[in-house]
Amino acid sequence: MTEIRLDVDVAHPPERVWRALTDAAVLAGWFAPAKLRPVVGHTFRVEAKGQPGFEEPIDAEVLEVDAPRRLAMRWRAPELDARVSVSIARVGGGSRVTLRQSGFFGMQGLLRRRVLHRTYTEMLGRRLPEALDRLAVEDGKRGPVGAALARRLAQRTKGADHSGSRRNARPYQRRGGFARRLRAVGRVTVTRPLHLERTVPFARRSPAHGRRGHRRDGRLHALGGALTRMAQRIRPDARGRHVAVGAGLLLVIALVSLIVVAATLSYPPGSPLIGPGNGQGHDGYAELPGGTRPPASAGASRGGSASGQPAEPSGVLPTASGGAHLGPNLTAVYRTETVRLGGYRGAVTISNPGGQPVEGWTVVLTLPVLNLTIRKTAGAQMKQDGDRFVFTPSPDTRLVGPGRTALFTYEADGVGKPTACTVNGQACGGI
């Protein structure tokens, strides 16, 4: 359950405020028509037609009376059972009026509370001080305050007479400004929705202050008045929307930053994955363009010469055991299998369109080196030479039969796709 509380400071004694609260004629001028009598147990009806939040008539009952300090009531209407109290306290040369209303339940109660809060702010911040000003004139208070109130009421009446001929007469609106604040004796200045502060009396300056100080103060007060009017024009719900939009933009910026950081995150490079051969003849060597491979010499170990230097290619196309031939008659196609946050998986399919089995192949991919690392391969062994990544077959993909295919994949950390691809020196497809 929530409640409404409004505090208003007025430059009038508590007795006059009490009269404006309990006199039916005065109450109808600033609140609503109601035959209220300050007697415990008295019942009456409030019909504030045209006032936001008072769509239905309200049956009220007086619960507590402490003149001229406190009046408590109970209000009943369809979907309304509220406790309303008005307290009056003497503050300095004036009074502080405190309005409380409780009994708001659920979402409907919350919406009604917001509407009534704006209505009460208008009533207590503008209409009640005007009604008190009229009472002060009627009471014959002709001191400094009473004279200022009489002049202001006369000016307001004169302005209303001049505007009566207009078809769309605008209601009176109190405007800011330092000089107007000096004339508005007893005027309530609304600074916050839940708090109203009194007008601060003007402190006379010494002649030594000079015209420069007056001009500077005038500019400062004009700027302050403009900022105050701008803040009052922004409704609370509009401020809430602005805050929500700003929070959403910050969230989007944070998500984009996380995606960029994850996409460009560098992984430490690992050692080249070069698999050992099976110790027979040409195993462990990649085919060179043109189908030639370095032959094994006598006394060489793993394809190396006796002196430890690799043998020169002989230019003769060897034949593997079992009738398999080593040749360049292979084709390959590259494709990107999956894309993930910060990397992707690439795949190369090698096909043998010929009529003879082909043993061994070499696929060379050219990839951007910047922030790209291949951390895992399947179906091939890999070694890197700058921006060239050389893939040679694993034992299960070494032999490609007639009309058959071999497939290998690799996991890349980074966003760079291959810019070139060859298989046994022939260009691949899909690039």
Give the mean pLDDT of 267-288.
Answer: 40
Q: In this predicted structure, which of 146-160, 239-253, 338-352 has the lowest mean pLDDT?
A: 146-160
pLDDT value for 168: 43
pLDDT value for 185: 45
Give the mean pLDDT of 35-44.
Answer: 92
pLDDT value for 81: 87
Please choose, from the candidates 388, 287, 275, 377, the residue with its C-alpha nearest in 3D space to the C-alpha of residue 330.
287
Confidence of residue 280 (pLDDT cuts 50, 70, 90): very low
Span 191-212, pLDDT tens digits = 445 444 444 444 455 555 555 5
Q: In this predicted structure, which of 1-10, 45-54, 215-224 has the lowest mean pLDDT?
A: 215-224
Q: Which is more confidently placed, 98 or 275?
A: 98
Confidence of residue 169 (pLDDT cuts 50, 70, 90): very low
Q: Is the pLDDT of residue 5 over 60?
A: yes
Contact partners, residue 283, CB within 8 Å, separation at least 6: 277, 303
Q: Which is more confidently placed, 174 or 316?
A: 174
Domain residue ranges in the chain: 2-159+177-200, 323-427
Q: Is the pLDDT of residue 281 over 50?
A: no
| CATH T-level fold of 323-427 | Immunoglobulin-like (2.60.40)
Span 361-399, pLDDT tens digits = 999 999 886 667 888 999 999 999 888 999 999 999 999
Most confident range (mean pLDDT) of 147-156, 276-285, 345-354 is: 345-354
pLDDT value for 264: 53
Say which CATH class 2-159+177-200 falls into: alpha beta
Confidence of residue 311 (pLDDT cuts 50, 70, 90): very low
Confidence of residue 254 (pLDDT cuts 50, 70, 90): confident
Confidence of residue 321 (pLDDT cuts 50, 70, 90): very low
Give the mean pLDDT of 21-43.
Answer: 91
Q: Is the pLDDT of residue 50 over 50?
A: yes
Confidence of residue 104 (pLDDT cuts 50, 70, 90): confident
Q: Mean pLDDT over all residues of the chain?
A: 74
